[in-house]
Amino acid sequence: MFRLLILGGTVFLGRHLVDAALERRWSVSLFNRGLTHPGLYPAVEHIAGDRDGGLGALAGRRWDAVIDTSGYIPRLVRQSAIALEAAVEHYCFVSTISTYAKPELPGLDEAAPVATVDDPLVENVTPETYGALKGACESAVEAVLPGRTLVIRPGLIVGPHDPSDRFGYWTRRLRRGGATLVPGRTDAPMQLIDARDLADWMIRMVESKATGIYNATGPAEALTMGGLLEAGRQALGSTAEFVWVDDGFLLDEADGRSLPLWIPAGDTAQAGLLAMDCRKAIAAGLKFRPLAESFQDVAEWQETLPPDHVWKTALTPARETELLAVWQGRLGAVRD
């Protein structure tokens, strides 16, 4: 039986990795602090510990592989890799496409340079340091376990149990129907991957002891913002009427940035994040379910959330109505 250790394992992608491993009848152990969803997976071994000075519980154990879903700080990732160097044959590290030094360039593949931190001692994870720190984490693992490391660089991950509410905002909005404010251009490039597709592929890659670096987002064919939302509208039987609103108008509004999955046309610094080259992962077996399935399953999961659930996105129905009225007023003034 394949023995898998997951560092994390109770939040979003980690949950789907556990599900995929258990479906293959693997033996799964979870190492975390036990703070998030501690009641999940009662039949799975839970090892309590802390990556910062609390790795002792892993001593004297053996697994075939480890998947690190919770590494953000190079010092702590290095310590985990050292602690597991003799305990595992294979180390899979979950990184990010945000690690590239020039994310403004579309079509980046795995050979593109990654960002670096100016101060090697910095450990404050911010939007500005996140990608560079992840790149340093990748290097830390490979330095400790050379030739035994698999690095996965996902893009936007969607699906049930997503705490970010980025994809989920559009699922909820489409279900509500009516005039729907949509930012930017219908032909703006879009990439995303369902967490279940990513998890299933990662488990198969780990099982085969694959190594190297892989961009992991999708779908296989070109996708646009308009195509994504139209797929959702059809999947959910939505009555939404899309009102495409100019980037500049939304940027003038203080809360315009609260609309998820939107990179303004003028934001050249991030233009490539939704146009990555993922041919290497696809050639290695990464597959994608229909977008309709992701929309439907997220909608079904959202129905299970408690009535007092707090959504992450800040554009309320009232504010959306207000923005649409101002936008329509501007269009009317231009026509006059």
Domains held by the chain: number: 2
Q: Establish if 280 belongs to a structural domain.
A: no
Cα–Cα nearest to 40, from 28, 50, 51, 49: 28
Mean pLDDT (whole number) for 172-195: 95
Query: 140 and 172: one domain?
Result: no
Measured distance CA(209)–CA(76) in Å, rounded? 23
At residue 269, the pLDDT reads: 66
Cα–Cα nearest to 171, from 298, 310, 261: 298
Q: Establish if 281 belongs to a structural domain.
A: no
pLDDT digits (tens, 9 = 90+) for 275-308: 999 999 999 999 999 999 999 999 999 999 999 9
Query: 153 and 177: one domain?
Result: no
Q: Establish if 288 belongs to a structural domain.
A: no
Cα–Cα nearest to 152, from 209, 215, 206: 215
Measured distance CA(88)–CA(74) in Å, rounded? 19
181 pLDDT more than 70 = yes
Cα–Cα nearest to 166, from 190, 185, 147: 190
- CATH code of the domain covering residue 90: 3.40.50.720
Q: Establish if 287 belongs to a structural domain.
A: no
At residue 267, the pLDDT reads: 73
What single-letter amino acid sits at 53? G
Query: 35 and 68: one domain?
Result: yes
pLDDT digits (tens, 9 = 90+) for 217-237: 999 999 999 999 999 999 999
Q: Establish if 285 belongs to a structural domain.
A: no
Query: 147 and 198: one domain?
Result: yes
256 pLDDT more than 70 = no
Query: 229 and 212: one domain?
Result: no
3-state secondary structure of 46: strand
Query: 111 and 98: one domain?
Result: yes
Exposed, middle or buried by CB within 10 Å (0-12, 13-18, 19+), for 205?
A: buried
Host domain of residue 77: 3-159+191-216
Half-sphere exposure of 194 (CA within 13 A, CB side): 20
Q: 298 or 263: which carries more pLDDT confidence? A: 298
At residue 124, the pLDDT reads: 94
At residue 315, the pLDDT reads: 85
Query: 186 and 115: one domain?
Result: no
Query: 100 and 199: one domain?
Result: yes
Query: 53 and 115: one domain?
Result: yes
pLDDT digits (tens, 9 = 90+) for 94-152: 999 999 998 888 899 999 999 998 888 899 999 999 999 999 999 999 999 999 999 99
- Greatest Cα-to-Cα distance within the chain, rounded to the nearest angstrom: 77
pTM reported for the whole predicted model: 0.95
Measured distance CA(17)–CA(196) in Å, rounded? 8
> In whole numbers, what is the pLDDT of the chain averaged over residues?
94
% residues pLDDT > 70 (the chain): 96
Q: Establish if 119 belongs to a structural domain.
A: yes
